[in-house]
Structure 1
Amino acid sequence: MKMKKWMAMLVAGALCAGMMAGCGSSSDSTDQSAAQASDKTFDGSISFIISHKDEYLGTLDQAAKASAESKGCTLTSTDCADDMDKQIDYVRAAAENKTDAIIIVLADDTRADEVVEAAGDTKVVFLNRIPQDESVLDENHVYVGSNEDDSGTYQGEMLADALKKEGKESVAYLMFEGTEGLVHTTKRTEGVLKALDAAGITATAAAETVDCGYDRTKAMDQMSIMLAEGLDMSKVDCIIANNDAMALGVLESLRQNKVDTSNLKVVGVDGTNAGLQAISDGIMLATVYQNAVGQATAGVQAAINLASGADLSTDISYETDQDNENIIWVPFEKITADNVAEYF
Structure 2
Amino acid sequence: MKRLTALVLSLALVFSLAACGGTSSTPETDSDEILIYTFIAARDEWNTTLEQGTLNCGIEGVKVVSQNAENDAIKQLQQIETAVTAGAKALIVQMADAETLAEIEEAAQGVPVVMVNRNPSDYSLLNENVIYLGCDEATAGYLQGDYLTEYFQAQGKTDFTYLLLSGSLGTVPARVRTDSVLSQLEANGMNATEATSPLVCDWDRATAMDNVTPLLGVTEFDCIIANNDAMALGAVEALEQAGIDPGSIPIVGVDATGDGRAAVAEGKMAMTAFQDGAEMGRAAVQAALNMINGKDPSEGIDYKPTEDNPYVLARDFVMVTAENVDEIG
After TM superposition, the score normalised by the length of structure 2 is 0.88
In the alignment, structure 1 residue 277 sits paired with structure 2 residue 262: yes
Q: Distance in 2 between matches of 1:292 and 1:265?
A: 25
Q: Distance in 2 between matches of 1:263 and 1:202?
A: 21
SS of 1:277's equivalent in the other structure is helix
From 190, 205, 210, the counterpart of 2:179: 190
SS of 1:270's equivalent in the other structure is coil
Change in 2 beyond 3 A, CA 1:48/1:262? closer
Deviation of 1:61 (Å): 0.6
Which amino acid in structure 1 is aligned with residue 54 of structure 2? A
Deviation of 1:25 (Å): 6.4
SS of 1:225's equivalent in the other structure is helix
Asked whether the 8 Å contact 2:305–2:314 carries over to 1, the reply is yes
- Report matched runs for 1:1-344 at 5 Å: 26=23, 43-67=33-57, 69-227=58-216, 231-232=218-219, 235-344=220-329
Map Cα deviations across residues 119-151 of structure 1 (whole Å, 9 max, x no partner).
Answer: 111110000012111122111111110111211
Deviation of 1:302 (Å): 0.7
> Alignment length, in residue pairs?
302
Q: Distance in 2 between matches of 1:303 and 1:86?
A: 22
Which amino acid in structure 1 is aligned with residue 48 of structure 2? G
C-alpha root-mean-square deviation of aligned residues, in Å? 1.5
Q: Distance in 2 between matches of 1:180 and 1:118?
A: 25
Deviation of 1:329 (Å): 0.6
Change in 2 beyond 3 A, CA 1:336/1:213? same
Asked whether the 8 Å contact 1:294–1:330 carries over to 2, the reply is no
SS of 2:304's equivalent in the other structure is coil
Structure 1 partner of 2:10: none
Deviation of 1:216 (Å): 0.4
Change in 2 beyond 3 A, CA 1:334/1:278? same
Asked whether the 8 Å contact 1:24–1:73 carries over to 2, the reply is no
Structure 1 partner of 2:11: none
Which amino acid in structure 2 is aligned with residue 47 of structure 1? Y
What is the percent sequence identity of the aligned residues? 37
Deviation of 1:24 (Å): 5.3
Structure 2 partner of 1:15: none
Asked whether the 8 Å contact 1:24–1:74 carries over to 2, the reply is no
Map Cα deviations across residues 91-137 of structure 1 (whole Å, 9 max, x no partner).
Answer: 11111122100000001011111100111111100000121111221
Q: Distance in 2 between matches of 1:70 and 1:96?
A: 23
Map Cα deviations across residues 218-249 of structure 1 (whole Å, 9 max, x no partner).
Answer: 0011112333xx524xx311000000000000
Which amino acid in structure 1 is aligned with residue 67 of structure 2? T
Deviation of 1:163 (Å): 1.2
Which amino acid in structure 1 is aligned with residue 66 of structure 2? S
Asked whether the 8 Å contact 2:138–2:177 carries over to 1, the reply is yes
Give structure 2 stretches of 5+ with no counterpart.
1-19, 24-31
Asked whether the 8 Å contact 1:25–1:76 carries over to 2, the reply is no
Q: Which runs of 4+ in 1 moved over 6 A?
A: none
Asked whether the 8 Å contact 1:60–1:295 carries over to 2, the reply is yes
Q: Distance in 2 between matches of 1:231 and 1:84?
A: 38
Deviation of 1:260 (Å): 3.7
Give structure 1 stretches of 5+ with no counterpart.
1-22, 27-41
Change in 2 beyond 3 A, CA 1:337/1:24? closer
SS of 1:70's equivalent in the other structure is coil
Deviation of 1:195 (Å): 1.0
Asked whether the 8 Å contact 1:56–1:270 carries over to 2, the reply is yes
**Greater helix share, structure number:** 1
Deviation of 1:188 (Å): 0.8
266-275 or 200-209, larger mean C-alpha shift: 200-209
SS of 2:162's equivalent in the other structure is strand
Which amino acid in structure 2 is aligned with residue 217 of structure 1? A
Asked whether the 8 Å contact 1:25–1:74 carries over to 2, the reply is no
Which amino acid in structure 2 is aligned with residue 263 of structure 1? S
Which amino acid in structure 1 is aligned with residue 76 of structure 2? Q
